[in-house]
Amino acid sequence: MEFEVVIGLEIHAELKTRGKLFTWTANEFGGEPNTRIDVITLGMPGVLPVLNRKAVDYTLAAGLAMNCKINRYSRFDRKHYFYPDLPKGYQISQKDYPLCYDGWIEFDVNGEVRRCRINRIHLEEDAGKSIHAEGRDDVTWVDFNRCGVPLIEIVSEPDLRSPEEAIAYWRAVKEILEYLDVSDCNMEEGSFRCDANISLRPRGSQEFGIRTELKNMNSFRFVQQALEYEVKRQAEILRSGGQVVQETRLFDVERGVTRGMRGKEEASDYRYFPEPDLVPIEIDEEWIERIRRSLPELPRAKRLRFMEQYGLPEQDVIVLTGTRALADYYEAVAQSCGDPKAAANWVMGDLIGFLREAGRSIEDSPVGPEALAEMIRMIQDGTISGRIAKEVLEQMVATGKSATQIVEEKGLRQISDVTQIEAWIDQVIAENPAQVEQYRSGKTKVLGYFVGQVMRLSRGKANPQQVNALLRKKLDQQ
C-alpha cells in the first residue's frame, strides 16, 4: 500500500525582549543558575504578573509576517500541570483567544513553491530547566533563569507531506523570525525548538491516520531523522495490519530511533481557565498598522526581488539572503559599485571567507559595504587587478584600512605601462628559449607559462590583459 505522510509542526521560539514576559528580570540565556529570578518568576504568593508590551508587539509582527489574522480581543489562560521547572503549578498561556490565527507561509522545496497554513500563534511563558544531577539518581536540580521568558508557539495545520517539506517549512519560519529580529532562533541554546505530529494514511484517503507526537527537538538534522524513522515505523505497523498507538515519542539521537515515553500514560488534563491576574488585551487597527508598517521585507520576497533586480542566479541569492544583515550588506555594495554580479562574487566568496578566518560575522565586519565597493571600483577602473584585489581585501579585513590606503602603502597599483611590461616580456623570452621554440612550433598552450613568468616578475602587479596581448604580439612577431 502506498502511504501519504501527514505532518504538522508546533514551533516554539523565545522572543528576544530585554525583560521577561510578566516581570522585569533580564531575559538572557545562561548565566549562573537562579541568578535571573524574582518573586514573580518564582510564583511567590501575592505577586501579580504584568504583561510586557514588547512581547505582544513581537508576536503581532510574527503573525502579520505569516499572514495571520489578529484577534482584536485576546487573553491569557492558566494551563495546569505539576513539574518542578514550573514553580506556580501552572503555565500562563493562551487557549481560546490567541493573539494570531489563520495564517500561512510559502516556502520552496526543490524549486517548487509550497504553502503551509498556520492555525495559530500564541504567546506564553517558558519554563525553567531541570538538570540531571550528576552522580545522583534520587534528585534533580532546577534552574529558573529561563522560567518566564516570552515564548511564541506557532502551530501549523497538518499540511506538510514529507520530512523534507517539514524541515523546509521549519527553516522558513526560522528565517522569517530572524528577519523580524524578534527571536535569536538559537537552536543550540534551545530558543528555537519544535514538536512534530506525524501520521500516515493510504494515498488518496481524506481521513487522517492515528498520529504520534515527537517532542522537543532542536536540530534540523534530528528532526529529519526522527520523522524519517517514524514514517518507516508507522508504515511497517500499518502494512502488517496493526494500529499505530497515539502517544508521545522521543528521538534517541544515539541510536537514531524514536521511543514511546514511559510513565505518561494518563491523558493530560490541563484544566485551563482564564488567567485572573492579567487583564484582557484589546488590539485596535492602529496598533496592527503600526506593526505592519514596521515589518521588513521578508526573506522570500527579497530573494525574488534580488533575482529580478540584480540578475543573480538563485543559488547566489539564497546565500546572500541567508540573513538580513548579509542581504543589506550585499545590497549596499551592489548599489555603490554598480556591478551586482561583482558585488555578489566578492561578498559571497572572499569577504565571507576572510571574515570566517578572522572569526567575524558580517555584522561586525571591519570592512564596511562602502569600503568593499571602493575596492571593486578600483578593479573596474584598472587601478588594481582582480588577483591583487584578493590580497588587498585580506589586508582590509585584517587591518580595517581602506583599499586605497593599502594599495598606496604596499605599492600594489596595477602596472599598465607598456614599456615596463615589454621589458619584463623581453626578459622572460630571453630566459626561456626552449619554451619560445615550443610556442612557435604550434604549442601555443605555453602562453600561460609566459604570462605566469611575467606576472611573477611584476610581483602580480602587471595588468594581466595587457601582458597577454603584448606577449602574443611579441611571440607571434618573428
Which region, judged by CB under 8 A, interacts with another protein, from 99-107, 153-161, 274-282, 336-344? 274-282
**End-to-end distance of the chain based on CA atoms, in angstroms?**
78
Contact predicate 68/58, CB 8 Å = no
Shortest separation between residue 274's beta carbon and another protein, angstroms: 4
Q: Does 181 bind another protein (CB under 8 A)?
A: no
Shortest separation between residue 126's beta carbon and another protein, angstroms: 16
Q: Does 263 bind another protein (CB under 8 A)?
A: yes
Shortest separation between residue 161's beta carbon and another protein, angstroms: 32
Could you identify the residue written with the cell 532562533? 185
Cell of 149: 521568558
Query: Which residue from 226, 220, 130, 124 is spatially nearest to 173, judged by alpha carbons?
Result: 220
SS3 378: helix
Shortest separation between residue 186's beta carbon and another protein, angstroms: 18
Contact predicate 32/131, CB 8 Å = no
State which residue, 130 or 323, has the beta carbon closest to another protein.
130
Query: Which residue from 125, 117, 16 is spatially nearest to 68, judged by alpha carbons?
Result: 117
Contacts of 360 (CB under 8 A, 6+ apart): 366, 397
Considering only residues 45 to 64 of the shown chain, the ones binding another protein according to CB under 8 A are 50-56
Q: Does 335 bind another protein (CB under 8 A)?
A: no
Q: Does 215 bind another protein (CB under 8 A)?
A: no
Q: Does 291 bind another protein (CB under 8 A)?
A: no
- Which region, left, alpha or beta, applies to residue 116 given φ > 0 means left and ψ of -120 to 50 means alpha? beta
Shortest separation between residue 125's beta carbon and another protein, angstroms: 14
Q: Does 285 bind another protein (CB under 8 A)?
A: no
Which region, judged by CB under 8 A, interacts with another protein, from 26-34, 234-242, 352-360, 390-398? 26-34
- Kindly determine how many residues on this chain lie close enough to bind another protein according to the rule CB under 8 A: 53
Query: Which residue from 191, 182, 181 is spatially nearest to 146, judged by alpha carbons?
Result: 191
Could you identify the residue written with the cell 599598465? 416
Contact predicate 194/153, CB 8 Å = no
Q: Which of 271, 290, 440, 443 binds another protein (CB under 8 A)?
A: 271
Q: Does 141 bind another protein (CB under 8 A)?
A: yes
Binding site for another protein (CB under 8 A): 17-19, 23-28, 32-39, 42, 50-56, 75, 80, 82-84, 130-133, 137-144, 262-263, 269, 271, 274, 276, 278-282
